[in-house]
Structure 1
Amino acid sequence: MSCKKGIDKYMFCTNSNYYETLVQYVKGKSSDVKKDEKCNDVKTSMTFFNNVQAKDICEEFKFLYKSFSTYPDGKTVKNDPFSYYDCYFLN
């Protein structure tokens, strides 16, 4: 799904409890997050807060993205699992 222009970019804030729960879900699955080896080649000269590495950001983002289709019941949604709010939250 691509983002749709003209929709309020901050409407996802009305679902902030859901997104906070999803972020906590990802943090609780840290061993699963680290399994994504496609982030090993991410390199940057940027310095992030608390010395977080770009590889870690990549892994968490990819796991969070995948979690939209399986959270909270662990089943994969066959139809498009994303809402426009999800898209703006990820951005």
Structure 2
Amino acid sequence: MIWGKPQYPTPTEVTEWYANDPLPVFQNGAVIEVPFTIDKTATGTLTIGGTLRAQACDHEQCYPPRKIPVSATLQITSESSPPPKNRQY
């Protein structure tokens, strides 16, 4: 498996009283896409995982960063299989 570079949405910059500079933030959630490539002959079930490092802030303060484990199980089919009908996050 070859991992590509994560693709982040464009953050919004906000100014809070406790920060000297504007803070880049993702408000109300964000979708981060990470492209990857697997061998053309691969089939079956593949579980991928990693760790998301995130920091939450509100109008009073920023909280300590957290590491959140993430995983997904994928069903790998042949190239001749039709693609999924819809994409969900």
In the superposition, the TM-score normalised over structure 1's length comes to 0.24
Relative contact order higher in (CA < 8 Å, ≥ 6 apart) = 1
Bigger radius of gyration? 2
Higher relative strand content: 2
Higher relative helix content: 1
In the superposition, the TM-score normalised over structure 2's length comes to 0.24
